Each structure stands twice: as C-alpha cells, then as structure tokens.
Amino acid sequence: MSAPYQANAVLVGRKDTMNYVLAAIRLFTEGASEVIIKARGKNICKAVDAAERVRSTLKDVEIRDVKIYSEEIEGEEGRKRRVSAIEIVLTRRE
C-alpha cells in the first residue's frame, strides 16, 4: 500500500470494523462509483468483514476485484519483513 493517496480508498487499521464500513458507505453516498478497501497483516480479516457489510447494506454495490499481495516493510531494528496485503474493489451496479 505504498501507492499514492487515493481519495476513494479506505485504509483499514486498528479501529472498529464499523468505522470502515461507514467510511465506505459515506464515499458511495457522496457520489463515488468505486471504493477500494485496503488492509495488511492481521487487519485483512477486518477489511473482508467491512466489504461484506457494505455489500449487504447497499444492495447495488458489488465486489469487482480482489488483489492480494505482500509488501516488504521495515520492522524493528531496521530489519525488513514481508507482510500480506489485500485490496477489495467495490463498485456500484448501474
């Protein structure tokens, strides 16, 4: 997730899952046709939960694409380690 900032992206972290669900729903209600939910490491399951909750709340939203990959990040004492990551692309059906 070292890509540049995206206005339609929801970055999943330590907060409660519903925070990310509401953020994605807000983006859709503000006119976004596509929202990307991104997470890495142990937050991947929270991203999947958020995407499913958005999909069940907004009936015209579907999952268009899911990308899984790993990133190399710098950990403690300058050691590099690999972390799994996910991007879930949600779109509005027309």
Domains in the chain, ordered, with CATH? 9-92 (3.30.110.20)
Which amino acid, residue 25? I
Which amino acid, residue 87? E
pLDDT of residue 66: 98
Distance, in Å, from the CA atom of 86 to the CA atom of 94, rounded to the nearest integer, reads 25
Distance, in Å, from the CA atom of 54 to the CA atom of 6, rounded to the nearest integer, reads 19
- Alpha-helical regions (H) of the chain: 17-29, 44-57
Low-confidence ranges of the chain (pLDDT < 50): 1-2
Strand 80-92, strand 34-40: pairing: antiparallel
pLDDT of residue 3: 54
Backbone region of residue 37 per phi and psi (left: phi > 0; alpha: psi in -120 to 50; beta: other values): beta
